[in-house]
């Protein structure tokens, strides 16, 4: 997924504000899930959803106003009730690594209690399409 960096994404020095990477990861996760026919709205109607349990980010170089950042996203681990996304953010024009990160997602019911990931969702998560 590509993200164009606008002025609103930056601090007063023209550098991507550090917390914006969380927003970019969220968008990238959504695109990843939808590319595998996993839609949050459908999950909610079936009585489950996914919540962030843990987040890591390592900043390697600054993203800047006007850059186009490319976010590579993959699922690296799947357990009974959780799965882990990993990200690599690169400058699309220079291929410079900007940041890496990971997010642990937990499958929960409508009361926000952990539950097992439905089998068909787990299968779609593990597909390498």
The set of catalytic residues is 11
The CA-based dihedral angle spanning residues 107, 111, 114, 120, taken in that order and rounded to the nearest 10 degrees: -40
* Distance from the first to the final alpha carbon of the chain: 14
What CA–CA distance (Å, rounded) separates 44 from 10? 33
Q: Pull the structure tokens for residue 91.
A: 């400058």
Main-chain phi, psi angles of 107, to 5 degrees = -80, 130
């Amino acid at each position: 997924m590509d993200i164009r960096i606008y002025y609103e994404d930056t601090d007063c020095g023209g550098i991507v504000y550090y917390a914006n990477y969380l927003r970019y990861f969220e968008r990238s996760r959504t695109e990843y899930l939808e590319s595998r026919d996993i839609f949050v709205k459908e999950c909610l109607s079936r009585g489950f959803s996914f919540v962030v349990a843990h987040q890591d980010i390592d900043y390697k170089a600054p993203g800047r106003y006007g850059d186009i950042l490319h976010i590579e996203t993959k699922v690296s681990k799947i357990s009974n009730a959780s799965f882990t996304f990993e990200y690599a953010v690169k400058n699309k024009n220079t291929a410079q690594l900007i940041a890496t990160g990971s997010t642990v997602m937990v499958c929960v019911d409508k009361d926000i209690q952990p539950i097992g990931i439905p089998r068909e969702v787990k299968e779609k998560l593990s597909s390498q399409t």
